[in-house]
């Protein structure tokens, strides 16, 4: 059984108990435990069930590479699925539940799949669920959805906060083992702005566990001394619990700092995402031990050899009383020695190599441990945990020579450098046949903006598996990085380490070498996704020869651990099956993040009220306090209607329209874009921007203008006012202000840069209010200050003056068809002016109206709306706006495009009014039905509805639409689609439904 | 994350502060141009794996446009320069030639 | 005018880093040839500060100048002094191609004070805020969360932020949330 030993552990404080819950059981760990070590100390070896076969699974590793130990963490507002037990630090009150089982971890119905595994081979889903097609939706998918997936999605909103942090660094070192510390030390001493990130809570990596000596002292002491030295350097930042998650173009790196995962009740953000722009990056990310592929290597109790000694040394936890070590290298002997020295039994070391005569094997033998060379494990015995192993010859096919009873198997297939961060941005790898691993090729590093390398791999991550060379490599990498970042100060003497010499490892990809199908089909490669040796072999046989294809077919390495311990073993099997060399098969692509990071950390502050900016006008508070029902227009929120009492939105809209037509309406038009265009060449410039002539507009007058893209399509419209000889004010649509401003700047900066024109966006400088209706003039006259009579301020003119004491610019323009003034005042006085209008307007039946009333009134008048009548494919001619296309001008944006054959085609759909025969409202976007079907058998169309409303003025449905040769077909009745009902008949009419002669607006 | 130097305000800025404006050095064709010329101007674009010239707008910063010479394959930036020019400056062309002998781009060599 | 109010009417947020909306500030966007002696002298005359170099700002109280782009300088004067300042600019630059526009009400000014105010900005803007790279006098236009903003340091513990009026609420809440998150402890002496 696994238990807490009497000895101390490096990371724990045995005197401080921490209580936690797992699957409803109250358990105790100690301060410094991970959830994994605490569970193991409580003999909770079984932590989950595998994805496909629901096999019982235990912890296999001690760090980020763990594939099995995934749990649901917390509850309610802090629920988090798929938390790795090996990287989850224990805290008082932690609550976890295991995943992927039903009804319980101990007894799981889905485990029947393991007996069906012969029928669930690689590619099973692809093969099985193809036919019959309807079965997919109604049978297969519901079943797969129910049984698939690991953790549950949280049901409640996350209660925590998250943040970003932007920094620049000369040198960013990722990984706080001895190589990373040495790199940071060299960079720091060179004078570089240096950041060192370590994903765990502890500095030093494996060296203190594995017993290296540095500068004559134990690794632990050197680590402490180095961290202290680095802490004193003001230009060096050290962060633990901060993972280098991804390396991106031009030296951009994401660091994922877990601030509160280990102390959830602390103040501040839970996770912080560091957004680093680094001149140079050192990846000192260490290595991951590989499992060996033998039958039933997935049983709880089969662990990585390094993890077995980590738990003893760091947490004082043993994984079993009797541990069989199985290996192809000397390093795993450290585990046997550590266990033996901790007073535990090691019945045998099974070494696949023919000889094992190095210092470590001899040390093990001296401790009385039996060493069996040339041997292999044929099969592990046990159910929910290991009970023993069958030993066979590595060279054979698995004939059992001996059975050894044990409760733990510690395996080591050698080490794979963590090359992920090196590779994210294109760093290339070489195959090192001697050490059987891919290692970075420093001559083919990722290159940055200057075309030079910006990533240096260092230490074990660079393929230097031993402390002495790894440490030296780290220091020189740090120095080289600092130098490349422009810091050439000599960092002094590099630290020196001493190692125990190790004999060469021997690649072993299958155990035993000639394992039968029965054994291979129980030899796991990918523990989380349940991929076995036999699956990869099948994929190769079925033609999935590319490593990327084999990966997707088998799902090898596609689980949440991204195959950290399985990928190399898998592609070695694939290479063997294909009869190819491992480097010829290559690796799959390494993509960020290194381990999963929280979605919330990516969102950072963009949550709740800060999810996105909401733009407010100076009158927004009034709107909110007075029943505004908002609609989003870009990032603005505009009142759609103001609800009074318990009226519906529809009723409110109708009331607002009727009141504006009969009394006085008030519209907050502040969101309309307002651009000042000024300079000696402003007139010439605006003649290019607009389809109609603006240079001839007299000072004091307004003109409605259209803007097209170079493609000839309508992009914006608005009223232009000439302010002075060389200055115009251009109104844009609400959504168009920034876009049109940028459009103008683009042409001025990039095409006509010699033209003397300046443009300034004053959209937000001015609050603008439309005063609309037959009483509009009376209201303004009551405010007093300037002459707003028909004579002094005729239709389509503007004037500056004061109204009720407010400095105002008043435009006589109308988008409603009524007598209408649009009044601009400084934004700081917008609210006061609005209040003043409401107060003075009481006698004139004043009522604010929203955007829907605005839309209805413009539609009653047949005015087009950008975004309704236009969709990026509509030209002015389609909307019968030929009158706004200047014939006098040689050029304007879009003019050449209008000459293209399709633009001049008489068969284009054109704007008309539409009236249903029964007065009902046409569905928005409905298509006009034409005879026949097209090549795809779909019904032909001859037009579509672009705007459709109930008109409270006319008390019937009105609509506008684009219809094939529409203006030539007045009076014709055509049919429109009506989803779920009979087609609707509508008559083609003039789009101006109300006051055709404009008598109301021109009074 | 591309990090480009804005020659207008002198800052090295993240891609997120910029807006890409497509191919640089387009010649505008207006009324009087042939259908072919106009089609080329509106629609035909270089799409190289390698040296490219692009327009960038420093939209979250100084609001000015600039041009960039960049390798679309390695993301090496050969230089950024004024938008008020009809062709890339000689020093940038020389730098490209040194780094990518034999390169070509549209009408440029 | 007495009924003029700023976007947030002087809203404040307490804490180790305080944030306050500074009320109305006169701002003139002046486009023109920044090398022109007449332009520079009218600007310095109106504000009493030196004309800023590329990427710089200078301010004392409510007066100041900020380099916005190669052809734009932001002239900051007391809010009620804008009409007079516009007249002076017009007079000084008569006959010169330029555009001076009152943008006072299009903006909001937020002032942040406290030891780690530098880190508050670094949480929100993709900008190098290390003291070696950004100090008093430096001016930067970038994004703050999802909005455009400009900021500069008055001194080591005070940063002024300018954003559009319509998003003042968002900017204020964003800064307050970042300040509430506490210091990161990355920058020296912060």
| Per-residue pLDDT tens over the stretch A685-701 | 999 999 999 999 999 99
Q: What per-residue confidence (pLDDT) applies to A120?
A: 67
| A804 token code pair | 């009720």
Query: Looking at the complex, does the CB of residue A610 fall below 8 Å from at least one CB of chain C?
Result: yes
For residue C126, give the nearest of B9, B17, B63 by CB distance: B17
Q: Which residue has the higher pLDDT, A998 or A920?
A: A920
Q: What Rg value do the Cα atoms of chain C yield, rounded?
A: 17
CA neighbours closer than 13 Å in the CB half-sphere of residue C164: 24
Question: Considering only alpha carbons, which residue of chain A is nearest residue C2?
Answer: A829
Tell me the domains of chain A and their CATH numbers. 3-113 (3.10.20.440), 162-287+417-491 (3.50.50.60), 292-413 (3.50.50.60), 523-585 (1.10.10.1100), 620-670+765-849 (3.30.1360.120), 673-761 (3.30.70.1400), 893-989 (2.40.30.110)
Question: Considering only alpha carbons, which residue of chain A is nearest residue B64?
Answer: A749
pLDDT band at C22 (very low <50, low <70, confident <90, very high): very high
CB A409 within 8 A of CB A386: yes
Give the β-pairing of A271-283 and A162-174: parallel
Give the number of other CB atoms < 10 A from CB of residue A310. Answer: 27
Helix pair angle (A851-860, A649-662), 10° resolution: 60
Torsion over CA: A597, A603, A605, A611 (sign): negative
Residues from chain B contacting residue A248 (CB–CB below 8 Å): 1
E strand segments, A374-420? 375-382, 386-393, 402-405, 408-412, 415-417
**Do residue B3 and residue A449 have CB atoms under 8 angstroms apart?**
yes
- Please state, rounded to an integer, the average pLDDT across all residues of chain A: 94
Q: What per-residue confidence (pLDDT) applies to A559?
A: 86
Residue A128 CA, chain-centre distance (Å), reads 33
* DSSP character string of A538-559: HHHHTT--SHHHHHHHHTTT-S
CA-to-CA distance for C99 and B98, rounded, in angstroms?
44
Helix pair angle (A567-578, A533-541), 10° resolution: 40
Q: What is the pLDDT of residues A451-496, one digit of tens each?
A: 999 999 999 999 999 999 999 999 999 999 999 999 999 999 999 9
Neighbours of chain A (3+ CB pairs under 8 A): B, C
Q: What is the pLDDT of residues A451-461, one digit of tens each?
A: 999 999 999 99
CB A350 within 8 A of CB A359: no
CA-to-CA distance for A66 and A852, rounded, in angstroms?
57
CA-to-CA distance for A412 and B23, rounded, in angstroms?
54
Sequence ranges of the domains in chain C: 12-180
Give the number of other CB atoms < 10 A from CB of residue A16. Answer: 11
Residues from chain A contacting residue B31 (CB–CB below 8 Å): 890-891, 895-896, 899
Residues from B in contact with A at Cβ < 8 Å: 1-4, 14, 19, 21, 28-33, 35, 38, 41-42, 55, 57, 59, 63-65, 71, 74-77, 83-84, 99
CA-to-CA distance for A639 and C159, rounded, in angstroms?
35
Burial of A991 (0-12, 13-18, 19+ CB in 10 A): buried
User: Hey, is B40 helix, strand or coil?
Assistant: helix
Helix or strand holding residue C189 (H, E): none
Q: What would the mean pLDDT of A225-248 be, rounded to a whole number? A: 98
* DSSP assigned state of A407: S
pLDDT band at A571 (very low <50, low <70, confident <90, very high): very high
pLDDT band at A115 (very low <50, low <70, confident <90, very high): low
Helix or strand holding residue A464 (H, E): none
Q: What is the pLDDT of residues A774-811, one digit of tens each?
A: 999 999 999 999 999 999 999 999 999 999 999 999 99
Contacts of A493 (CB under 8 A, 6+ apart): none
CA-to-CA distance for A183 and A205, rounded, in angstroms?
14
User: Hey, is A243 helix, strand or coil?
Assistant: strand
Residue C3 CA, chain-centre distance (Å), reads 24
Q: What would the mean pLDDT of A433-441 be, rounded to a whole number? A: 96
Q: What is the pLDDT of residues A633-665, one digit of tens each?
A: 999 999 999 999 999 999 999 999 999 999 999
Q: What would the mean pLDDT of A183-195 be, rounded to a whole number? A: 98
E strand segments, A215-251? 217-218, 236-239, 242-248
Residues from chain A contacting residue B77 (CB–CB below 8 Å): 449-450
Instruction: Please determine, for residue A147, whether its predicted confidence score (pLDDT) is greater than 60.
Output: no
For residue B62, give the nearest of C69, C126, C143 by CB distance: C69
Query: Looking at the complex, does the CB of residue A167 fall below 8 Å from at least one CB of chain C?
Result: yes
Contacts of B64 (CB under 8 A, 6+ apart): A749, B6, B8, B9, B57, B58, B83, C69, C70
**Do residue B38 and residue A448 have CB atoms under 8 angstroms apart?**
no
Any idea of the CA torsion for A713, A745, C142, A481, to the nearest 10 degrees?
100
CA-to-CA distance for C77 and C49, rounded, in angstroms?
11
CB A659 within 8 A of CB A647: no
Percent of chain C, pLDDT > 90?
94
Torsion over CA: A130, A131, A134, A135 (sign): negative
Q: What per-residue confidence (pLDDT) applies to C79?
A: 97
Contacts of A499 (CB under 8 A, 6+ apart): A212, A466, A467, A468
CATH superfamily of C12-180: Probable tRNA modification gtpase trme; domain 1 (3.30.1360.120)
Give the β-pairing of C63-69 and A402-405: unpaired
Instruction: Please determine, for residue A149, whether its predicted confidence score (pLDDT) is greater than 90.
Output: no
ipTM value, please give it.
0.98
Q: Which residue has the higher pLDDT, C154 or A128?
A: C154
Instruction: Please determine, for residue A144, whether its predicted confidence score (pLDDT) is greater than 70.
Output: no
CB A774 within 8 A of CB A663: yes
CB A488 within 8 A of CB A506: no
Q: What is the pLDDT of residues A808-838, one digit of tens each?
A: 999 999 999 999 999 999 999 999 999 999 9
Instruction: Please determine, for residue A295, whether its predicted confidence score (pLDDT) is greater than 60.
Output: yes
Exposure string over C95-116, b if 16+ CB within 10 A, otherwise e: eebbbbbbbbbbbbbbbbbbeb
Partners of A966 in the beta sheet? none
Q: What per-residue confidence (pLDDT) applies to B3?
A: 97
* DSSP assigned state of A830: H
Q: What Rg value do the Cα atoms of chain B yield, rounded?
A: 14
CB A76 within 8 A of CB A56: no
| C65 token code pair | 């100048």
CA-to-CA distance for C150 and C163, rounded, in angstroms?
7
| Min Cα–Cα distance to chain C from A957, Å | 36
| A533 token code pair | 């040796």
**Do residue B9 and residue C54 have CB atoms under 8 angstroms apart?**
yes
My answer on whether omega of the bond before A637 falls inside 30° of 0, hence cis, is no
Q: What per-residue confidence (pLDDT) applies to A320?
A: 96
The torsion angles phi and psi of C61, rounded to 5 degrees, stand at: 55, -125
CB A663 within 8 A of CB A775: yes
Q: What is the pLDDT of residues A826-880, one digit of tens each?
A: 999 999 999 999 999 999 999 999 999 999 999 999 999 999 999 999 999 999 9
For residue A750, give the nearest of B4, B42, B65 by CB distance: B65
CA-to-CA distance for A883 and A888, rounded, in angstroms?
12
Q: What Rg value do the Cα atoms of chain A yield, rounded?
A: 38
pLDDT band at A560 (very low <50, low <70, confident <90, very high): confident
CB A417 within 8 A of CB A437: yes
Size of interface B-C (CB pairs under 8 A): 36
For residue C123, give the nearest of A165, A168, A277 by CB distance: A165
User: What length does chain A have?
Assistant: 1003
* DSSP assigned state of A290: P
Q: What would the mean pLDDT of A746-766 be, rounded to a whole number? A: 98
**Do residue A249 and residue B29 have CB atoms under 8 angstroms apart?**
no
Helices (H), A367-466: 420-424
Residues from chain A contacting residue B59 (CB–CB below 8 Å): 742
Give the β-pairing of A846-848 and A664-668: parallel
Q: What per-residue confidence (pLDDT) applies to A124?
A: 62
Q: What per-residue confidence (pLDDT) applies to A112?
A: 64
Q: What would the mean pLDDT of A124-128 be, rounded to a whole number? A: 61
Q: What would the mean pLDDT of A720-748 be, rounded to a whole number? A: 97
pLDDT band at A529 (very low <50, low <70, confident <90, very high): confident
Contacts of A625 (CB under 8 A, 6+ apart): none
Q: What per-residue confidence (pLDDT) applies to A103?
A: 62
Q: What per-residue confidence (pLDDT) applies to A50?
A: 82
CA-to-CA distance for A930 and A939, rounded, in angstroms?
7
| A532 token code pair | 């076995």
Fold for B3-99, please state it. Answer: Folate-binding fold (3.30.2270)
* DSSP assigned state of A138: I
Residues from chain C contacting residue B84 (CB–CB below 8 Å): none
Q: What is the pLDDT of residues A28-38, one digit of tens each?
A: 999 999 999 99
Integer angstrom CA distances of residue A249 from A281, A427, A449, A779, B32:
12, 12, 8, 61, 44
| A577 token code pair | 């099956």
Identify the residue whose tokens are 């720091």: A188
Helix or strand holding residue A772 (H, E): strand A766-772
| A311 token code pair | 């738990």
**Do residue A828 and residue C105 have CB atoms under 8 angstroms apart?**
yes
Percent of chain A, pLDDT > 70?
95
């Amino acid at each position: 059984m696994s238990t807490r030993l009497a000895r101390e552990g490096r990371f724990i404080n045995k005197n401080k108990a921490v209580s936690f819950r797992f699957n409803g059981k109250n358990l105790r760990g100690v301060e410094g435990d991970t959830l994994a070590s605490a569970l193991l100390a409580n003999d909770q070896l079984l932590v989950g069930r595998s994805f496909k076969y629901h096999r019982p699974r235990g912890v296999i590793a001690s760090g980020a590479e763990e594939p099995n130990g995934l749990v649901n963490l917390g509850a309610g507002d802090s629920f988090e699925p798929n938390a790795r037990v090996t990287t989850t630090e224990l805290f008082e009150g932690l609550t976890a539940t295991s995943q992927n089982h039903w009804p319980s971890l101990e007894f799981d119905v889905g485990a029947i799949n393991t007996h069906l595994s012969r029928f669930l081979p690689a590619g099973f889903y692809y093969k099985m669920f193809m036919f019959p097609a309807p079965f997919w939706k109604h049978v297969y998918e519901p079943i797969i959805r129910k049984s698939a997936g690991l953790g549950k999605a949280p049901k409640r909103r996350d209660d925590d906060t998250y943040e970003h942090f932007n920094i620049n660094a000369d040198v960013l070192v990722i990984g706080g083992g001895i190589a990373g510390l040495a790199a940071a030390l060299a960079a720091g001493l060179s004078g570089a702005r240096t950041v060192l990130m370590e994903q765990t809570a502890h500095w030093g990596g494996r060296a203190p566990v594995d017993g290296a000596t540095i500068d004559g002292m134990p690794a632990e002491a050197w680590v402490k001394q180095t961290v202290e030295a680095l802490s004193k350097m003001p230009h060096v930042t050290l962060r633990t619990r901060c993972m280098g998650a991804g390396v991106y173009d031009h030296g951009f790196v994401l660091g994922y700092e877990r601030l509160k995962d280990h102390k959830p009740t602390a103040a501040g953000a839970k996770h912080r995402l560091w957004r680093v722009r680094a001149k140079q990056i050192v990846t000192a990310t260490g290595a991951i031990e590989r499992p060996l592929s033998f039958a039933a290597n997935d049983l709880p109790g089969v662990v990585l050899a390094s993890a077995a000694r980590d738990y003893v040394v760091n947490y004082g936890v043993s994984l079993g009383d009797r541990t069989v070590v199985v290996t192809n290298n000397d390093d795993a002997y450290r585990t046997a020695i550590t266990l033996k020295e901790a007073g535990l039994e090691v019945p045998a070391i099974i070494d696949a190599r023919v000889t094992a005569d190095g210092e470590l094997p001899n040390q093990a033998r001296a401790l009385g441990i039996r060493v069996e060379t040339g041997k292999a494990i044929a099969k592990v015995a046990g159910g929910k945990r290991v009970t023993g192993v069958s030993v066979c010859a590595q060279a054979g096919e698995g004939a059992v020579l001996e059975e050894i009873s044990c409760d733990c198997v510690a395996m080591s297939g050698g080490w794979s450098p963590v090359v992920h961060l090196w590779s994210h941005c294109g760093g290339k790898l070489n195959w090192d046949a001697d050490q059987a691993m891919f290692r970075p090729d420093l001559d083919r590093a990722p290159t940055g903006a200057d075309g030079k390398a910006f990533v240096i791999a260092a230490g074990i991550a660079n393929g230097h598996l031993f402390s002495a060379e790894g440490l030296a490599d780290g220091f020189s990498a740090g120095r080289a990085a600092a130098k490349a970042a422009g810091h050439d100060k000599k960092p002094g003497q590099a630290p020196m380490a001493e190692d125990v010499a190790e004999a060469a490892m021997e690649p072993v990809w299958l155990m035993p070498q000639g394992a039968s199908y029965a054994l291979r089909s129980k030899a796991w490669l990918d523990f989380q996704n349940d991929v076995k040796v036999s699956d990869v072999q099948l994929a190769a046989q079925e033609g999935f020869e590319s490593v990327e294809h084999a990966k997707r077919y088998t799902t090898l390495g596609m689980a949440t651990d991204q195959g950290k311990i399985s990928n190399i073993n898998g592609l070695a099997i694939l290479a063997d099956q294909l009869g190819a060399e491992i480097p010829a098969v290559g690796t799959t692509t390494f993509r960020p993040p290194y381990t999963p990071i929280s979605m919330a950390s990516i969102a950072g502050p963009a949550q709740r009220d800060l999810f996105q900016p909401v733009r407010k006008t100076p009158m927004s508070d009034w709107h909110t306090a007075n029943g505004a029902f908002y609609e989003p227009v870009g990032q603005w929120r505009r009142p759609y209607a103001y609800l009074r009492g318990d009226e519906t939105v529809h009723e409110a809209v109708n009331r607002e329209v009727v009141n504006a037509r009969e009394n006085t309406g008030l519209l907050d038009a502040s969101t309309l874009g307002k651009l000042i265009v000024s300079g000696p060449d402003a007139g010439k410039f605006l003649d290019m921007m607009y389809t109609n002539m603006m240079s001839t507009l007299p000072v004091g007058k307004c003109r409605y203008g259209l803007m097209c893209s170079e493609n000839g399509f309508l992009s914006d419209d608005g009223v232009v006012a000439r302010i002075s000889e060389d200055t115009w004010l251009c109104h844009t649509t609400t959504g168009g202000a920034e876009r049109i401003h940028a459009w103008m700047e683009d042409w001025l900066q990039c095409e006509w840069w010699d033209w003397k024109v300046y443009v300034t966006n004053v959209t937000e400088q001015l609050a603008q209010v439309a005063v609309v209706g037959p009483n509009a003039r009376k209201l303004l006259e009551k405010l007093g200050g300037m002459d707003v009579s028909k004579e002094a301020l005729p239709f389509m003119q503007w004037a500056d003056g004061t109204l009720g004491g407010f400095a105002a610019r008043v435009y006589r323009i109308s988008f409603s068809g009524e007598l209408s003034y649009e009044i601009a005042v400084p934004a700081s006085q917008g609210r006061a002016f609005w209040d003043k209008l409401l107060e003075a307007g009481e006698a004139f039946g004043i009522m604010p109206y929203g955007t829907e009333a605005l839309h209805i009134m413009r539609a009653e008048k047949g005015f087009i709306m950008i975004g309704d009548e236009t969709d990026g494919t509509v030209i002015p001619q389609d909307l019968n706006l030929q009158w706004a296309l200047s014939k006098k001008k040689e050029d304007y944006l879009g003019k050449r495009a209008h000459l293209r054959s399709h633009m001049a085609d008489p068969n284009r759909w054109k704007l008309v009014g539409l009236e249903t025969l029964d007065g009902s409202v046409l569905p928005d976007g409905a298509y006009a039905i034409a005879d026949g079907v097209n090549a795809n058998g779909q019904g032909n169309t001859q037009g579509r509805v672009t705007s459709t409303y109930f008109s409270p003025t006319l008390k019937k449905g009105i609509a506008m639409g684009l219809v094939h040769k529409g203006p030539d077909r007045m009076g014709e009745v055509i049919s429109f689609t009506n989803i779920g009902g009979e087609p609707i008949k509508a008559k083609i009419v003039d789009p101006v439904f109300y006051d055709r002669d404009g008598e109301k607006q021109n009074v | 994350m591309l990090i480009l130097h804005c020659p207008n305000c002198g800052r090295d800025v993240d891609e997120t502060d910029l807006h890409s404006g497509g191919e640089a050095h387009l010649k505008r064709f207006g009324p009087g141009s042939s259908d072919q010329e106009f089609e080329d101007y509106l629609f035909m674009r270089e799409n190289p794996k390698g040296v490219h010239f692009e327009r960038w707008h420093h939209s979250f910063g100084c609001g000015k446009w600039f041009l960039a010479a960049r390798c679309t394959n390695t993301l090496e930036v050969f230089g950024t320069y004024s938008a008020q020019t009809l062709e890339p400056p000689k020093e940038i062309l020389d730098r490209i030639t040194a780094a990518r002998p034999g390169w070509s781009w549209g009408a440029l060599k | 005018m007495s009924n003029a109010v700023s976007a947030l009417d002087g809203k404040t947020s307490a804490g180790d880093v305080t944030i306050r909306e500074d009320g109305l500030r006169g701002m003139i966007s002046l486009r023109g040839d920044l090398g022109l002696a007449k332009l520079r002298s009218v600007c310095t005359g109106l504000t009493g500060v030196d004309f800023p170099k590329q990427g710089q700002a200078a301010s004392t109280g409510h007066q100041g100048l900020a380099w916005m782009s190669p052809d734009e300088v932001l002239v900051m004067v007391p809010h009620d002094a804008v009409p007079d300042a516009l007249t002076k600019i017009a007079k000084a630059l008569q006959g010169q191609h330029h555009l001076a526009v009152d943008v006072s009400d299009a903006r909001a000014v937020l002032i942040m004070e406290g030891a780690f105010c530098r880190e508050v900005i670094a949480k929100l803007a993709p900008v190098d805020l290390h003291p070696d790279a950004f100090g008093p006098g430096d001016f930067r236009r970038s994004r703050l969360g999802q909005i455009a903003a400009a900021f500069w340091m008055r001194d080591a513990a005070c940063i002024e932020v300018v954003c559009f009026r319509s998003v003042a609420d968002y900017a204020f809440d964003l800064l307050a949330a970042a300040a509430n998150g506490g210091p990161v402890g990355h920058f020296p002496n912060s």
